[in-house]
Amino acid sequence: MWQFFETTQGTIVIGALIGAVGIAVGQLLPRLTAWSASARSRGSVRKQNARALAMRVVLALDDLVGGCHSAAIDAPEFNPGDPGDFVLHTDNPKLILPRDVDWSCLTPELMEDILWMPNRLRNIIDGLESLDVSPPEFDDFFLHRQADFSRLGLRAMDLIDRICLEYGIEQPERPPYYEPRDTFEEGVALAADFSDRRRKSERNASRGTSNVTPLFGISAREERGPKPPEIDPGI
């Protein structure tokens, strides 16, 4: 077979093959170059769109953080003439995410966590509205409001941190005296402490144990035993 390529006809065939390959490469190379450039352009545009969307989400979440903070520190004002009448000074937080956008340009994990946020907010509001807000306990409405919006605020701040890290966005700037994370953590801790003390109180009540510690201890009189009867000296 190799002897054929050594002949004149073989040389012609080899030349024809080389020419055909050269023509094919010459035709395909511009197309491949154009396709590669187009793919790079599409990737660059997609990254730009993702970063722009991430920036809009960070702004929306930061507004939610502010609303959660206002709700977490909101103390009710009661009507002195009606113990069941009270006024809150702030409305429930709101979250307005961008509409008509391509959420798939974000990473799947961030996209899902972002899209869950309106549902989480709605569930908190629905839960608070389901409580029996009547005196004297008000069904722990004020405690739940502080704790639930504090947890949501922490979740929003954590999500902002992740988005900023993923897309190289600057963190929201806040004054040094305004630290919503500290307020949220304190609100969650207070709620946990209150719930723990209530459980202990309920356990003590079920055992018939007093929740008040006696001034001199509960065993002083028991250790002395019963008081002996008094003896009449005239007997």
C-alpha torsion sign, points 24, 26, 31, 37 = positive
* DSSP-derived secondary structure letter, 90: S
Give the DSSP letter string of 156-197.
HHHHHHHHHHHHTPPPPP--TT--HHHHHHHHHHHHHHHHHH
Domain range annotation of the chain: 48-200
Q: What is the mean pLDDT of residues 195-224?
A: 59
What pLDDT sits at residue 204?
Answer: 77
Q: Is the pLDDT of residue 42 over 60?
A: no
pLDDT reported for residue 16: 66
38 band by pLDDT with thresholds 50, 70 and 90: low
How high is the pLDDT of residue 23? 76
Averaged pLDDT for residues 119-123: 98
Is residue 8 very low, low, confident or very high in pLDDT (cuts 50, 70, 90)? Answer: low
More confident residue, 145 or 230: 145
In 64-111, the DSSP E strands lie at: 77-79, 82-87
In this predicted structure, what is the pLDDT of residue 201? 76
Only one residue has tokens 């947890």, namely 151
The pLDDT of residue 215 is above 90: no
pLDDT score, position 10: 60
Task: Determine the pLDDT at residue 161.
Answer: 98
Q: What is the DSSP string of 12-69?
A: HHHHHHHHHHHHHHHHHHHHHHHHHHHHHHHHHHHHHHHHHHHHHHHHHHHHHHHHHH
Q: Which of 3-7, 157-161, 193-197, 203-207 has the lowest mean pLDDT?
A: 3-7
What is the value of pTM for the model shown? 0.70
**pLDDT one-digit tens code per residue, 152-198:** 999 999 999 999 999 999 999 999 999 999 999 999 999 888 878 87
